[in-house]
Amino acid sequence: MWLIDIIKELLTKNGLIWAFLIVGVIYVASMYLNKILFKGKLNTFTIAMIIAMIISGLVGAKTGKTKGLADIPLFAGVGVLGGSMLRDYAIVATAYGAKIEEIKKGGLMAVISLLVGVVGSFIIGVIIAIAFGIKDVKDITTIGAGACTFIVGPVTGESIGASSQAIALSVAAGVVKSVLAMILIPTLGKALKINTPQAAMVVGGLVGTTSGTVAGLTALDPNLVPYGAMTATFYTGLGCLLCPSILYIIARAIFGA
Amino acid sequence: MEIYGLAVLTALFLLGETIGYSLGKLLNVGDVGGVGFAMLFLILLTNTKYWNEKVSEKTKLGIKFIGAIYVPIIVAMVLQSNIIGAFKGGFIAFLSGGIAVVGMLLLTPLLSKYAKIKK
C-alpha cells in the first residue's frame, strides 16, 4: 500500500530520530511494566535493558547476524544511536558533575584495580581454555584476552596470529562478560557495597568492559556512572597493551612447547 | 548558548581521543583510554573557577543534555548487541567471560575498602 511505503521510506531516511521514538516507547513500556508488574520496585532502566536484550536476541536469532535490531534495515537508526560515536561522546558528557576530590581519593586504587582486572581476567580465561583442552598457546592467550573484553580478544588474537576459531571464542567470551556485567552489577551492587565513587572506580577497573559496566552502573545508581566509566575506558586500552605483549610472553614461557 | 557546550564537549572528546590514539600508535595497539582522557579534561574544566562563575547556564545545558540522553543511548546499544553470540560461544566462552566478571566483582569490596582506608 502506498501509505506503508511512504512510512517505510520516512523511517529509513530518518533512522536516527526514529531510534529516539523506538527507545522512548521501550522506556515508557518499561515504566508501566515496572509500575504494574513489579509495583515500582525495579529500576525502569533495568527493565528497558532486559526488553532490549530480548528484542536483540530474538532478532539476532532470526537474522543470524551480530547487530541485533540494527541488522533490520528499517531499524538501522538504532545502530547509529547506540553506535560507538554517540556512545563515547555521551559517556564523556556523563563526567560532567564528577568531583575532582573524589577521583583523587580513588585514583591509586583505580590504577591497581585496572591491573588486577586485566591480569586476573586473563588468568581466568587461560585456566578455562586449558581446562577445556586447548593446546595452542596462541589460542590460550587469545581466550584469556577475550575474558578481558570483546575488543581485547580479537586485537590480541590477530596480533599474535591465533586461529580464527579462538578469536571467535574470545569475542563470545567478551560478549558474555559484558552482558553479565549489565545484569550482575545492579543485582549484586548493594551486597558488594558499590555505593561510593571510589567503589565505582574500582568496579570499572576490575570488570572493565565499558558497555557492561556503564549499563550496570546506570541501573544501580546513575550518579556513579562517571567514576566507573572513566576507569573502564582505560581497561580495554590496557588489555590491548598487556595481552599480546607481556602476558603472551609469560603464557608462552609457561605453556609453550 | 547551548551550541557552545556541545562544541566544548566535542573539542575535549577529540583531544582525548587524539591522545588515546597517539598513545595507541606509540605502543602499537588501538585506542588507549581516549574517552577516559576526555572525561578527565571535562572534569578538570568544570571544576575550575572560570567555568563555575563565568560560563552561562545555557552553555552548561548543552553538555548536560548529552549526558542525559546517554541512558537511551545505552538502551539503543543493548538493542544492537550480539546476545546470540554470547550464547553461541558455548561453554568456554560462557565460563571464561562469566567467571571473569563474577570473580572480579567479588574482589570489589576488598579493593574499595583499601580505597577508603587510603583517604
Residue B119 has pLDDT above 50, yes or no: no
pLDDT of B32 reads 72
Q: Please write the tens of the pLDDT for every residue from A128-140.
A: 999 988 889 999 9
Residue of B nearest to A206 (CA): B104
pLDDT of B116 reads 62
pLDDT of A55 reads 93
Cell of B100: 571473569
Residue of A nearest to B45 (CA): A96
Let me know: does B32 contact A241? Beta carbons within 8 Å: yes
Which of B65, B94, B108, B113 should we substitute to test contact with A (largest number of A Cβ atoms within 10 Å)? B108
- Cα within 13 Å of Cα(A101), Cβ side: 1
Q: Where are the domains of chain A?
A: 2-83, 99-255
pLDDT of A125 reads 94
Please report the number of interchain residue pairs, chain A to chain B, with beta-carbon separation below 8 angstroms: 333
Name residue A135's amino acid.
Answer: K
Residue B50 has pLDDT above 60, yes or no: yes
Cell of A105: 581519593
Handedness of CA B85, B91, B97, B101 (dihedral sign): positive
Residue of B nearest to A76 (CA): B80
Q: Please write the tens of the pLDDT for every residue from A138-150.
A: 999 999 999 998 8
| Candidate from A71, A169, A226 with C-beta closest to B89 | A169
pLDDT of A167 reads 85
pLDDT of B42 reads 92
pLDDT of A77 reads 93
pLDDT of A23 reads 95
Q: CB–CB of A176 and B29 under 8 A?
A: no
| Candidate from B76, B79, B105 with C-beta closest to A207 | B105
Residues in chain B: 119
The contacts of residue B90 (CB under 8 Å, 6+ apart) are A169, A172
Q: A2-9 long-range contacts, Cβ below 8 Å, gap at least 24?
A: A8/A74
Q: Please write the tens of the pLDDT for every residue from A187-199.
A: 998 899 999 999 9
Q: CB–CB of B67 and A61 under 8 A?
A: no
Q: What is the pTM of this model?
A: 0.79
Q: What is the spatial distance between Cα B83 and Cα B10, in angstroms, rounded to a whole number?
A: 31
pLDDT of B40 reads 85
Three-state SS string over chain A comes to CHHHHHHHHHHHHCHHHHHHHHHHHHHHHHHHHHHHHCCCCCCHHHHHHHHHHHHHHHHHHHHCCCCHHHHCHHHHHHHHHCCHHHHHHHHHHHCCCCCHHHHHHHHHHHHHHHHHHHHHHHHHHHHHHHHCCCCCHHHHHHHHHHCCCCCHHHHHHHHHCCCHHHHHHHHHHHHHHHHHHHHHHHHHCCCCCCCCHHHHHHHHHHHCCHHHHHHHHHHHCHHHHHHHHHHHHHHHHHHHHHHHHHHHHHHHHHHCC
- Which of A117, A142, A113 minimizes the C-alpha distance to A128? A142
Q: Please write the tens of the pLDDT for every residue from B79-105.
A: 887 777 767 767 888 899 899 999 999
Q: What is the spatial distance between Cα A234 and Cα A152, in angstroms, rounded to a whole number?
A: 12
The region that residue B81 occupies, defined by phi over 0 for left and psi between -120 and 50 for alpha, beta otherwise, is: beta
Question: A151 burial class (0-12, 13-18, 19+ CB within 10 angstroms)?
Answer: buried
Measured in degrees and rounded to the nearest 5, phi and psi for residue A65 equal: -105, -175
Residue of A nearest to B38 (CA): A92
| Candidate from B27, B96, B108 with C-beta closest to A147 | B96
pLDDT of B86 reads 66
pLDDT of A69 reads 92
Name residue B20's amino acid.
Answer: G
Q: Residues of chain A whose pLDDT is less than 70? A: 257
